[in-house]
């Protein structure tokens, strides 16, 4: 068992027993569950919308090489610069070098899971650059020294009282401020930072190849401020965020907001196609887009798991997952949690160390049911399990156990041997590791064969 797997089991055991944690997360998810059905009413046929979105993403991913080149061509025409980063280290090197060349001391950052993936804040801090999270949820998490808990709502596991306490400890405010007052405190701190920062970093929800632009969706306006106040704007985005045309946003914007938060459309949707032009008064003087691979082409080259690249990071599968709702986002020990995280993390960060996430599922299929772009998530989890076995990441005990199971299952005589009680004793004694986090295996007193015979004889 890998170290990550042991940590995962230890963390999940603690979280699953933490009823206060469960109360908070279920309270926040229940708000989401109230809003989403209302948002879905805007679509005459929500299944058709999801199907169309899946088809568009299929096209984008199947032609990703051409789409990326088309994006680069169109984006550079407007004066933007494209940087291709194979992995996290390359992306960090590029960002740090851009910052150093511009003598950057303060950098403002909008919410971006890719920057979490490459651990950008740690790298900037090591280089003496202050990086400020400007999304309120991310700002709360940064103050608390914690990674985001959820891909859409980073501080989902905190109550308003937790946040008031945190602000009081870190910023010296009164310990009983209301959410409105807390927001004003954060606003006051952050507004000053936009004007000080030399560089702004954002992610992108979509890369749009036909216009050479990126689209950012947010509710607070902080991403818009982060990309327009500082003189330099850096976008870092995973290559899979591609959509072929600006017209596709008519479908993806409402889809993302409805499945993400239940809104009909998110408050701020911004398309950026380059730095400030000669006839414009506002905007950054220069703009870079870093196209990050970091394991995505591993997924791309596998025709079965490729589908996971359609993900638009709406977070719906996390909110629907019985595992996520019990163990929460941090237990996964990975940037991307929940069902989609369990599907992609073994490919992004290594099957050997993360294959256990593919088993963090009841395979109920609820994730597939709610996915905005109809990714067959639970089947991909099974696919990961299969791959991990094929790649040899199985213990000898597990291999032996399944071998014995197979031999017994294929021989009727062996299946009929011994009573249910005897089988319980033998099997539960042998599979002690299996039983550690599960209830005992309980054999039926009679085998299927015996029950069938009884039924036949009664007739
Ligand atoms: S896998 Fe589907 S439901 Fe989950 S975050 Fe991605 S798009 Fe949303």
Please tell me the distance between residue 256's alpha carbon and the centre of ligand 1 in angstroms. 9
> What is the position in ligand 1's atom list of the atom closest to the CA of 310?
7
Q: Note the pLDDT tens digit of each residue in 283-299.
A: 999 999 999 999 999 99
Q: Give the model's pLDDT for residue 23.
A: 94
DSSP 296: H
**Between 1 and 194, residue with greater pLDDT:** 194
Structure tokens that stand for 224 in this block: 């818009």
Reported as half-sphere exposure (CB side, CA atoms, 13 A), residue 171 has a value of 23
pLDDT band at 309 (very low <50, low <70, confident <90, very high): very high
Beta bridge partners of 81: 288
Report the C-alpha gap between 414 and 408 in whole angstroms.
Answer: 6
From the CB of 315, is ligand 1 less than 6 Å away?
A: yes
Q: Is the pLDDT of residue 41 over 80?
A: yes
From the CB of 316, is ligand 1 less than 6 Å away?
A: yes
Q: Is the pLDDT of residue 395 over 80?
A: yes
Q: Give the model's pLDDT for residue 450.
A: 85
Q: Give the model's pLDDT for residue 404.
A: 86
What percentage of the chain has pLDDT greater than the value 70? Answer: 100
Among left, alpha and beta (phi > 0; psi -120 to 50; other), residue 316 is alpha
Q: Note the pLDDT tens digit of each residue in 200-246.
A: 999 999 999 999 999 999 999 999 999 999 999 999 999 999 999 99
Question: Considering only CA atoms, which of 194, 294, 156 is closest in space to residue 238?
Answer: 294
Report the C-alpha gap between 362 and 279 in whole angstroms.
Answer: 57
Question: Considering only CA atoms, which of 388, 348, 359 is closest in space to residue 12?
Answer: 359
Structure tokens that stand for 190 in this block: 């952050």
**Could you tell me the pTM of the whole model?**
0.92
Q: Is the pLDDT of residue 402 over 90?
A: no
Q: Give the model's pLDDT for residue 184.
A: 97
Report the C-alpha gap between 432 and 440 in whole angstroms.
Answer: 9
Q: Give the model's pLDDT for residue 87.
A: 97
pLDDT band at 190 (very low <50, low <70, confident <90, very high): very high
Q: Per-residue DSSP letters for 331-364?
A: GG-SSS-HHHHHHHHHHHH-HHHHGGGGGS----
Q: Give the model's pLDDT for residue 397.
A: 81
DSSP 441: P
For a ligand 1 pocket test, name from 311, 320, 379 the mutation site with the most ligand atoms within 8 angstroms of its C-beta: 311
From the CB of 39, is ligand 1 less than 6 Å away?
A: no
User: What is the pLDDT averaged over residues 57-62?
Assistant: 98
Per DSSP (E only), the strands in 170-285 are 199-202, 206-208, 213-218, 232-238, 242-243, 268-272
From the CB of 372, is ligand 1 less than 6 Å away?
A: yes
From the CB of 340, is ligand 1 less than 6 Å away?
A: yes
From the CB of 373, is ligand 1 less than 6 Å away?
A: yes
Q: What are phi and psi for residue 123, nearest 5 degrees?
A: -65, -40
Q: Is the pLDDT of residue 399 over 90?
A: no
User: What is the pLDDT averaged over residues 9-22?
Assistant: 94
Please tell me the distance between residue 316's alpha carbon and the centre of ligand 1 in angstroms. 6
Q: Is the pLDDT of residue 1 over 80?
A: no
pLDDT band at 398 (very low <50, low <70, confident <90, very high): confident
DSSP 440: P
Q: Give the model's pLDDT for residue 93.
A: 98
Q: Note the pLDDT tens digit of each residue in 70-120.
A: 999 999 999 999 999 999 999 999 999 999 999 999 999 999 999 999 999
User: Do residues 402 and 410 touch, judged by C-beta distance below 8 A?
Assistant: no
- Reported as type and span, the H/E element at residue 170 is helix 160-171
C-alpha dist (Å) from residue 181 to 23, 173, 218: 24, 10, 21
Q: Note the pLDDT tens digit of each residue in 351-370.
A: 999 999 999 999 999 999 99
* 69-73, 135-139, 279-283, 453-457: least confident range: 453-457
Report the nearest-CA residue for atom 6 of ligand 1. Answer: 311
Q: Note the pLDDT tens digit of each residue in 418-442.
A: 888 998 888 888 777 777 778 888 8
Q: Give the model's pLDDT for residue 148.
A: 96
Place of tokens 């009664």: 458
Q: Give the model's pLDDT for residue 168.
A: 97
Average pLDDT over the chain, rounded to an integer: 95
**Between 336 and 417, residue with greater pLDDT:** 336
Structure tokens that stand for 415 in this block: 């299946």
């Amino acid at each position: 068992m890998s170290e990550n797997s042991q940590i995962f089991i230890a963390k999940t055991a603690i979280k699953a027993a933490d009823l206060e944690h469960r109360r908070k997360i279920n309270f926040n998810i229940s708000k989401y569950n109230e809003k989403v059905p209302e948002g879905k009413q805007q679509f005459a046929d929500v299944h058709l919308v999801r199907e169309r979105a899946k088809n568009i993403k299929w096209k984008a991913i199947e032609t990703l090489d051409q789409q990326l080149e088309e994006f680069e061509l169109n984006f550079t025409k407007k004066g933007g610069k494209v940087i291709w980063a194979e992995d996290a280290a390359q992306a960090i090197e590029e960002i740090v070098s851009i910052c150093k060349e511009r003598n950057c001391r303060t950098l403002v950052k909008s919410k971006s899971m890719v920057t979490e993936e490459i651990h950008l804040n740690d790298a900037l801090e090591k280089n003496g650059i202050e990086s400020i999270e400007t999304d309120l949820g991310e700002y709360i998490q940064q103050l608390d020294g914690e990674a985001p808990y959820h891909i859409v709502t980073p501080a989902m596991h905190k109550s308003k009282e937790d946040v008031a306490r945190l602000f009081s400890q870190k910023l010296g405010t009164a310990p009983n401020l209301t959410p409105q007052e807390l927001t004003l405190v954060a606003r006051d701190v952050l507004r000053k930072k936009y004007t000080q920062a030399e560089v702004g970093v954002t992610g992108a929800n979509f890369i749009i190849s036909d216009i050479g632009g990126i689209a950012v969706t947010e509710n607070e306006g902080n991403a818009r401020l982060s990309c327009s106040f500082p003189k330099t704007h850096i976008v870092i985005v995973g290559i899979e965020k591609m959509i072929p045309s600006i017209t596709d946003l008519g479908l993806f914007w409402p889809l993302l907001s409805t499945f993400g938060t239940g809104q009909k459309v998110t408050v701020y949707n911004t398309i950026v196609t380059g730095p400030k032009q000669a006839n414009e008064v506002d905007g950054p003087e220069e703009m870079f887009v870093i196209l990050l691979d970091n394991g995505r082409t591993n997924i791309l080259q596998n025709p079965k798991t490729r589908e996971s690249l359609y993900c638009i990071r709406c977070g719906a599968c996390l909110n629907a997952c019985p595992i996520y709702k019990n163990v929460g986002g941090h237990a996964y020990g990975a940037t991307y949690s929940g069902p989609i995280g369990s599907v992609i993390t073994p490919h992004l960060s290594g099957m050997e160390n993360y294959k256990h996430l593919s088993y963090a599922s009841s395979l109920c299929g609820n994730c597939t049911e709610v996915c905005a772009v109809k990714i067959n998530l639970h089947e991909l989890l099974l696919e990961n399990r299969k791959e991990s076995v094929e790649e040899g990441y199985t213990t000898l005990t597990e291999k032996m156990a399944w071998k014995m199971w197979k031999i017994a299952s294929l021989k009727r005589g062996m299946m009929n041997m011994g009573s249910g009680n005897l089988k319980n004793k033998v099997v539960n004694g042998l599979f002690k590791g299996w039983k550690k986090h599960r209830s005992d295996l309980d054999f039926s007193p009679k085998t299927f064969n015996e029950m069938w015979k009884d039924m036949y004889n009664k007739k």
